[in-house]
């Protein structure tokens, strides 16, 4: 059984969309979406530097657009399940048929702008803890006033909070943690700091007409499969201020009988986690069009 997954913020790198523009129709799609949401996706995906695409309001639409373009390039594919990490959940909702591509881009544009506004209220950020015992790390984060914003499994927890709190974490790692790595994000996402963004996203969600998912959809909230399109949208709204439980998503993949995991562009992060947490499961990260043939072979073997 194949699971298709979409990465979240921090996966973007300068120029990562450049090779995709060589595929027929891709540039036209990106320009049409750019006009619709008032953001030049082609420029930001090809010529912008790392600091420019670190901006939440830019990174989020860019990632969803990349996920949709790369999924479409695979051709007809019906995975056994679909999921996304953080903003990747919007990509997953579109792949599952809950949202149209245009609705997904409109929603993520609102999400990115609202979360950027919320992040500007207080200087905040996120850092990944690599290794260590989860219970020990969680207790240590609580002591420092930090939130475990992403519990990713495979020995990785992402802490979020003020820059002062994150500096204290860097100086005082939990016992057993090998390394603390500052992430390329511009705020404490999936924490109370993002609460102001929830209302803006809820208002935008009223304009949507969600359909029932055509593919099993696994939610970041609790790793559960969700069968109602309206509930999926409700979860997308609330999730911006609540922790991502990717560890529980991967547990659900196992329960569903996953044998292969394919991560859409810009792939890498989630396949890395799967290699450690899902032994025996074949993984492939879709980075450039050069990976499409291998991806199609994986799909043919495991769909």
Active-site position among 34, 70, 86, 219: 86
Report the top-level CATH class of 121-182: alpha beta
What is d(CA 272, CA 267) in angstroms, rounded to the nearest whole number?
9
CATH superfamily of 2-120+191-302: Malonyl-Coenzyme A Acyl Carrier Protein, domain 2 (3.40.366.10)
CB 250 within 8 A of CB 273: yes
Q: Residue 158 has what pLDDT? A: 95
Instruction: Tell me the pLDDT band of 184, cut-offs 50, 70 and 90.
Output: confident
Instruction: Tell me the pLDDT band of 219, cut-offs 50, 70 and 90.
Output: very high
The arithmetic mean of pLDDT across residues 197-216, rounded, is 96
Beta strands 2-6 and 81-84: pairing type?
parallel
Q: Dump pLDDT digits (tens) for 108-160.
A: 999 999 999 999 998 999 999 999 999 999 999 999 999 999 999 988 999 99
- % of residues, the chain, pLDDT over 70: 100
Active-site position among 190, 193, 219, 302: 190
Instruction: Tell me the pLDDT band of 241, cut-offs 50, 70 and 90.
Output: very high
What is d(CA 160, CA 126) in angstroms, rounded to the nearest whole number?
4
Type and span of the H or E element at 156: strand 156-162
Domain range list for the chain: 2-120+191-302, 121-182
- % of residues, the chain, pLDDT over 90: 94
Q: Residue 213 has what pLDDT? A: 98
Long-range (24+ apart) CB contacts under 8 A made by 19-23 are 19/288, 19/289, 19/290, 20/45, 20/66, 20/69, 20/70, 20/73, 20/265, 20/288, 20/289, 21/46, 22/289, 23/69, 23/73, 23/289
Q: Dump pLDDT digits (tens) for 65-118.
A: 999 999 999 998 899 999 999 999 999 999 999 999 999 999 999 999 999 999
Long-range (24+ apart) CB contacts under 8 A made by 209-212 are 209/103, 210/93, 210/98, 210/99, 211/97, 211/98, 211/99, 212/97, 212/98
Q: Residue 157 has what pLDDT? A: 94
Q: Residue 155 has what pLDDT? A: 84
CB 276 within 8 A of CB 16: no
Q: Residue 154 has what pLDDT? A: 81
CB 121 within 8 A of CB 196: yes
Type and span of the H or E element at 128: strand 124-131
Q: Residue 10 has what pLDDT? A: 87
The arithmetic mean of pLDDT across residues 167-183, rounded, is 93
Q: Residue 165 has what pLDDT? A: 96
CB 80 within 8 A of CB 3: yes
Q: With a cut of 80, say whether residue 261 has pLDDT above it.
A: yes
Q: Dump pLDDT digits (tens) for 245-258.
A: 999 999 999 999 99
Is 303 among the catalytic positions? no
Is 70 among the catalytic positions? no
């Amino acid at each position: 059984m194949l699971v298709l997954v979409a990465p979240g913020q921090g996966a973007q790198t300068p120029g990562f969309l450049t090779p995709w523009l060589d595929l027929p129709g891709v540039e036209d799609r990106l320009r049409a979406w750019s006009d619709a949401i008032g953001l030049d996706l082609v420029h930001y995906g090809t010529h912008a530097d790392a600091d420019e695409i670190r901006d939440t309001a830019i990174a989020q639409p860019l990632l969803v657009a990349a996920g949709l373009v790369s999924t479409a390039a695979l051709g007809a594919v019906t995975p056994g399940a679909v999921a996304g990490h953080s903003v990747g959940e919007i990509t997953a909702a579109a792949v599952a048929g809950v949202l149209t591509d245009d609705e997904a881009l409109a929603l993520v544009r609102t999400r990115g702008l609202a979360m950027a506004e919320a992040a500007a209220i207080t200087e905040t950020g996120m850092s990944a803890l690599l290794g260590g015992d989860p219970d020990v790390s969680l207790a240590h984060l609580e002591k420092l006033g930090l939130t475990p914003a992403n519990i990713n499994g495979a020995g990785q927890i992402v802490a979020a909070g003020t820059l002062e709190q994150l500096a204290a974490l860097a100086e005082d790692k939990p016992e057993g943690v090998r390394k603390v790595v500052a992430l390329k994000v511009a705020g404490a996402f999936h924490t109370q700091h993002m609460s102001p963004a929830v209302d803006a996203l809820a208002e935008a969600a009223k304009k949507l007409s969600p359909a029932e998912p055509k593919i099993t959809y696994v939610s970041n909230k609790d790793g559960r499969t969700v069968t109602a399109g309206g509930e999926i949208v409700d979860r997308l709204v609330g999730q911006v201020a609540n922790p991502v439980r990717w560890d529980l998503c991967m547990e659900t993949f196992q329960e569903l009988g996953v044998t292969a995991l394919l991560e859409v562009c810009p792939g890498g992060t989630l396949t890395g986690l799967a290699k450690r947490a899902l032994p025996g499961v074949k993984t492939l990260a879709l980075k450039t069009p050069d990976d499409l043939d291998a991806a199609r072979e994986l799909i043919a073997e495991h769909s």
